[in-house]
Amino acid sequence: MATTEKASPRDRLLDAAARLSYQDGVSVGIEALCRAAGVSKRSMYQLFDSKDAMLAASLERRIPWYDALLAHPDPETATPRQRILHVFERLEQASQDADYHGCPYLAVLVELKDPEHPASVIAREVKAGLAARFRADAEAGGARDPELLARQLVLVFDGASARAGAKVEHLGDGLATTTVTVLLDAAGMD
């Protein structure tokens, strides 16, 4: 007979922080986080120095999931252009979910505004990683100005994510991939 292990209080807090901060914003209260995790405030403070530290840890913990979400399923055989377009196809797919509120890392940066906040540091690293991924693919694909193209792609990604998350733009019609295709063509990407 298989036994299921109950998640640790730390894991439950990180899951609650990720879920509630994405759904309700980073200003979600400690009481709500602890209640959702089924963990006392005392236990939370034994595990984390602060709510800020817990939020940063929850964002850091989700990086592998986020990277996997955007990664091409066959990166070795996909062309750089296909890898870039796949990121935007995934964005378009994710945006169709009723619970989609945009890129969780961009949301943290916009909400917190403090570049020294531990969660802002993690979010900036993730966004820099996405830009680096775009830059590497732009270079490999022969773009005339890989740095500029990477910046443009991040701008489209963040803008499309924010607008779809705010429910003011519908990406199901391929708007993001169509826009990116124009950028890739203009940059001379194969």
How many degrees, rounded to 5, is the angle at CA 61 between CA 73 and CA 153? Answer: 50
pLDDT at residue 4 greater than cutoff 70? no
Cite the residue boundaries of each domain of the chain with CATH code 1.10.357.10: 63-186
At 5, the pLDDT band (50, 70, 90 cuts) reads: low
DSSP 81-95: HHHHHHHHHHHHHHT
The pLDDT, as a whole number, for residue 94 is 95
In the chain, % of residues over pLDDT 90: 95
CATH architecture of the domain covering 63-186: Orthogonal Bundle (1.10)
Cite the residue boundaries of each domain of the chain with CATH code 1.10.10.60: 9-59
CATH number of 9-59: 1.10.10.60
Against a cut of 0.85, is the pTM above it? yes
* HSE toward the beta carbon, residue 19, CA cutoff 13 A: 12
How many degrees, rounded to 5, is the angle at CA 159 between CA 53 and CA 190? Answer: 110
pLDDT tens figures, 122-176: 999 999 999 999 999 999 999 999 999 999 999 999 999 999 999 999 999 999 9
pLDDT tens figures, 65-122: 999 999 999 999 999 999 999 999 999 999 999 999 999 999 999 999 999 999 999 9
